[in-house]
A and B are shown apart, each in its own frame.
Chain A
Amino acid sequence: MKRTLMKGNEALAEAAIRAGCRAYFGYPITPQNEVPEYMARHMPGAGGVFVQAESEIAAINMVHGAAGAGVRAMATTSSPGFSLMTEGLSYMIGSRLPCVVVNVMRGGPGLGNIAPAQGDYFQVTRGLGHGDTHGIVLAPSTVQEIVDLMPVAFELAERYRLPTVIAADGILGQMMEPVALPEPIAPPPPPEWATTGAVGSPRVISSIYLAPEELEQHVLSLMRTYQEIREREQRWEAYRADDAEVLVVAYGTAARVVRSAVDRVRAQGVAAGLIRPITLWPFPTSAFEMSPRRWLVVELSAGQMVEDVRLAVSGRAPVGLYGRVGGVVPSPAEVSEAIRAAVAEEVAWA
């Protein structure tokens, strides 16, 4: 298959168009600016629309409108912008509207910096906005995987009528890798619930349920969807895990570093392996039925995913953390050292 050298941000934009996305709304924020730039150039030729919104708030609400009209719609942003989008995401969840939002995470809190980080883990997995909210969260670790997950993201969003978030980071957005692009698909026709003009009976898309009992029923229905997603959509990858004495858990860019570190320490006789969650929500709890002597979580945040790992491991083995923050990406040598320390029981255990 023909492979093209592409920057992560551009690859994800092209993958979205090929996956039938015909409405893209964005606002410039580093390190994802190549996405709106690519969409501005290529969306018109694909018969789609691009609007540079006046803010991330406006962008996600344009997605609301386009998604409600039955079109595959997407927004991309980076951490501070994602905070602004959570208002709109909560409304879209309340209204059961599908969409894809890509968060190319950077260092925080606040304006932080534009270096790669994973500090939005809580924000994307614990609730995508106010209220009882969840959306599927996919965490690619290569440019190819971003491309491969894009059609999956739209399909999942439409199957469950919820937003799907692709949690990437500054390295994945900025790095160039050879990718094989899929053949373009035609966008699906608008679903019957879309507001396309009241031919027949009018359709209403709303998140309002004023009566407490009605809202409770609505939220319980969302809960049933969330439960169905937990049971059916857990995705992860295991690497050299079968005989591992210490299993390292990492996603995205961190997982790439861990993979190299696992190979390093294996060469030195340490039986290490990697569990790489691909869905951050639902968290792939089924991957944690294995029984290593130690778990070690490596993340580009101050210890966020480690909480999900502790819940999944449920006290059956100690769980340690090696977290780097501020946009610092540890080297394979540093992570190797952390793995050796874990085996030597020199890291903080819970």
Chain B
Amino acid sequence: MVEVTARPRSLVDVPLHYCPGCTHGIIHRLVAEAIDSLGIRERTIGVASVGCSVFIYNYLDVDFQQAPHGRAPAVATGIKRVLPDRVVFTYQGDGDLASIGAAEILHAAARGERITVIFVNNAIYGMTGGQMAPTTLSGMKTTTTPFGREIRQAGGALRVVELLAGMDGVAYAAREAVTSPARIHRARRAVEAAFRAQIEDRGLGIVELLSTCPVNWKLPPVEAVAWCEANMIPAFPLGVLKDTTGSGG
């Protein structure tokens, strides 16, 4: 029998706590696969962030520190500077990275910290119950935009990787979605490329992954995937925005 696919070594075999239809599980697997394929498990240190994915340390078989809301890039900086030969990554949601932690990610990028940032964008605050995030789409209803996000009152959606791709310290910046097998395959390559940017000492690598939040979007899982395709991808264009290797990820 030929084994076509198997559980990644770096992914612990325990049930995930995520809601049905949430794509954190897929993204966890992509990170584990990247760690396995690059052979870096024993020198990788993750930084978990506040939000639904804070318990990522229960699922990935690597060392972890848990950071305050938004501060993961600063914690990762502290780790990486004292252990420069280790591989350090953060796993952050949109509220964490784009709102309260905007200064931390911006300046980690400006410094060209040799860290990898996995940025999960589901356009809403998940753990706190569906409030508006910086990435919430115009017109989108959340518990704090009950009439739909109105630009004049609440501003527009923040496009993070576009912002960071223009910075000299960023070696790799891409946005992908995990809404179909083909897209997941592209996302896998992007995650690995974001780690390679660090391993090759080129700069900060960030990959933004468009994700679903069926419970707070109030949609069944299959419709949530379709909603992400129909609404998020047009607002957050996919693709590699920057890759200093020139290989296109």
Listed in ascending order, the chain A residues whose CB lies under 8 Å from chain B are 22-23, 25, 49, 51, 53-55, 57-59, 61-69, 71, 73, 87-88, 91, 95, 195-199, 202-208
Q: Indicate which residue in B60, B79, B104 contacts A69 across the interface (CB closer than 8 Å).
A: B79
Contact B45–A61 (Cβ < 8 Å): no
Question: Is there an interface contact between A65 and B104, defined as CB atoms closer than 8 Å?
Answer: no
Q: Are the C-beta atoms of A68 and B65 separated by less than 8 Å?
A: yes
Task: Please judge, given known A-B contacts A64-B75, A197-B43, A198-B41, whether A22 and B82 are in contact too, CB under 8 Å.
Answer: yes
Of chain A, the residue at the smallest CB distance from B83 is A69
The 6 closest A-B pairs by CB, nearest first: A65-B78, A61-B74, A62-B78, A195-B63, A206-B66, A54-B107
Chain B contacts with A in 37-73, Cβ cutoff 8 A: 41-45, 47-48, 54-55, 57, 60-68, 71
> Quick one: closest B residue to A22, CB to CB?
B82
In addition to A55-B103, A62-B77, A208-B55, 20 A-B residue pairs with Cβ atoms within 8 Å of each other are A22-B82, A54-B107, A57-B103, A61-B78, A62-B74, A62-B81, A65-B47, A65-B79, A65-B82, A66-B78, A66-B82, A68-B75, A87-B68, A88-B71, A195-B63, A197-B42, A198-B44, A198-B63, A208-B54, A208-B66
The reply to whether the CB of B232 lies closer than 8 angstroms to some CB of chain A is: no
- On whether the beta carbons of A49 and B81 are closer than 8 Å, the reply is yes
Bound Cα distance A293, B28 (Å): 68
Question: When the two chains form the complex, which single residue of B55, B62, B77, B86 contacts A51, counting CB atoms closer than 8 Å?
Answer: B77
B contact residues around A66 at 8 Å (CB): 78-79, 81-82
A197-B45 contact given A54-B107, A203-B63, A205-B65, CB 8 Å threshold: yes
Contact B65 A64 (CB under 8 A): yes
Instruction: For the complex, give the distance between the alpha carbons of A203 and B44 in Å.
Output: 11
CB atoms of B41 and A54 under 8 A apart: no
Confirm or deny: B76 has a beta carbon within 8 angstroms of a beta carbon on chain A: yes
Contacts A/B (CB < 8 Å), 9 sampled = A62-B74, A64-B71, A65-B79, A66-B79, A91-B67, A198-B42, A203-B63, A204-B65, A206-B57
A196 to B64, alpha carbons, bound, how many Å? 9
- A58 / chain B contacts, CB cutoff of 8 Å: 71, 74, 77, 103-104, 107
**Which A residues are CB-close (under 8 A) to B111?**
51
With both chains docked as a complex, state the minimum distance between the C-beta of B2 and any C-beta of chain A, in angstroms: 30
Task: Among A23, A65, A195, A202, find the residue whose CB has the most chain B CB atoms closer than 10 A.
Answer: A65
Do B78 and A23 have beta carbons less than 8 Å apart?
yes
Closest to B81 in A: A49
Which chain B residues numbered 86 to 117 have a C-beta less than 8 Å away from chain A?
86, 103-104, 106-107, 111
* Distance (whole angstroms) from the CB of B18 to the closest CB of chain A: 15
User: Which of A53, A62, A198 meets B62, CB within 8 Å?
Assistant: A198
A205 CB to nearest B CB, Å: 4
- Say which residue of A25, A59, A73, A197 sits within 8 Å of B83 (CB atoms): A197
Tell me which residues across on chain B come within 8 A of A68, comparing CB atoms. 65, 75, 78-79
Shortest beta-carbon distance, A150 to chain B, in Å?
19
Q: Using known A-B contacts A49-B82, A57-B74, determine if residue A197 contacts B107 with beta carbons closer than 8 Å.
A: no
User: How far does the Cβ of B105 sit from chain A's closest Cβ, in whole Å?
Assistant: 10
For A87, the closest partner residue in chain B by CB is: B68
Residue numbers in A under 8 Å from B74 (CB-CB): 53, 57-59, 61-62, 64-65
Q: In whole Å, how far is A330's beta carbon from the nearest beta carbon of chain B?
A: 40
Distance of B32 from chain A, by nearest CB (Å): 12
A196 cross-chain contacts in B, Cβ below 8 A? 45, 63, 83, 86
Contacts of B57 in A (CB 8 A): 202, 204, 206
A206 to chain B: which residues have CB within 8 Å?
A: 48, 57, 64-66
Least CB distance from B169 to A in Å reads 13
- A87 to B100 alpha-carbon distance, docked (Å): 13
A61 contacts B44, C-beta separation under 8 Å: no
**Contact among B44, B55, B75 with A65 in the assembled complex (CB-CB below 8 Å):** B75
C-alpha spacing A68/B65, complex, angstroms: 7
Q: Decide: A64 near B42, CB < 8 A? Known: A23-B81, A54-B104, A69-B79.
A: no
